[in-house]
Structures are given as C-alpha cells and as structure tokens.
Amino acid sequence: ETGVTQSPTHLIKTRGQQVTLRCSSQSGHNTVSWYQQALGQGPQFIFQYYREEENGRGNFPPRFSGLQFPNYSSELNVNALELDDSALYLCASSPRGTNVLTFGAGSRLTVL
C-alpha cells in the first residue's frame, strides 16, 4: 500500500503571495488532517477534512483554507503569506474512527 505523499517538498515564496500544498492520503484512509510545524516545535493542528467537509479547525486564521476531493486527496491553501508562515506543513491521513495518523514527509515552506 502507498503511504501519504505530499508535494512540493520545498518551496520559497515572498510575503503576500499565495501557496497551495497537495496531499494524497494512504489507501483506505478517508480522513485528512493538516499540521504546521515551526522549527524546534511540535506540530500544531490546522484542520481536518472528512467527506470533503472541514471537520474541526485549530487556531489558525481564515487565510488558511483547505479542500478534500472525492478520492480523499487534499489541498492546503494559504493566502497573504506572512514571514511566520515559514514552517514544515504536514499532511496526515487516517481511517474514520481512529486518531492514529499516518504522516507524509511534509512540505517545507520558506516565506521571504
């Protein structure tokens, strides 16, 4: 079975720009969660998607938005990028009913 794949692995943006990160969930997993991990910190929950709808959100502003597609893949969009958005963005998938997460390798975003 394939694991969770994320793209791109690295990207550099400038302040004010917009970014889209992509995630393919593990086969058989219908729930996708996104986390932001700043350097030296633990991952922080951004939001979760199930059945193409947001199913819980952390303390992140509305400029962080997401989508889930019928094949359970997902996108994270961040508008009006700020310097503090520089972080590793982690996508994780799980079957419904469990919170044991399978993580992708992450997308490292640098905002200049």
Partner 1 sequence: SQQGEEDPQALSIQEGENATMNCSYKTSINNLQWYRQNSGRGLVHLILIRSNEREKHSGRLRVTLDTSKKSSSLLITASRAADTASYFCATADIQGAQKLVFGQGTRLTINP
Cα 27 to chain centroid distance, Å, stands at 17
Q: Answer whether 85's CB lies under 8 Å from 78's CB.
A: yes
Q: Answer whether 36's CB lies under 8 Å from 19's CB.
A: no
- Work out whether 90 is an interface residue with partner 1 (CB under 8 A): yes
* Subset of 11-70 contacting partner 1 (CB under 8 A): 31, 33, 35, 40-45, 48, 55-56, 58-59
Beta bridge partners of 47: 34, 57
- Work out whether 93 is an interface residue with partner 1 (CB under 8 A): no
**Identity of the residue, 19 or 31, whose beta carbon is nearer to partner 1 in the bound complex:** 31
- Work out whether 2 is an interface residue with partner 1 (CB under 8 A): no
Instruction: Please state, as a whole number, how many other Cβ atoms lie within 10 Å of the Cβ of residue 70.
Output: 7
Which stretches of the chain bind partner 1, using CB under 8 A? 4, 31, 33, 35, 40-45, 48, 55-56, 58-59, 88, 90, 92, 99-106, 108
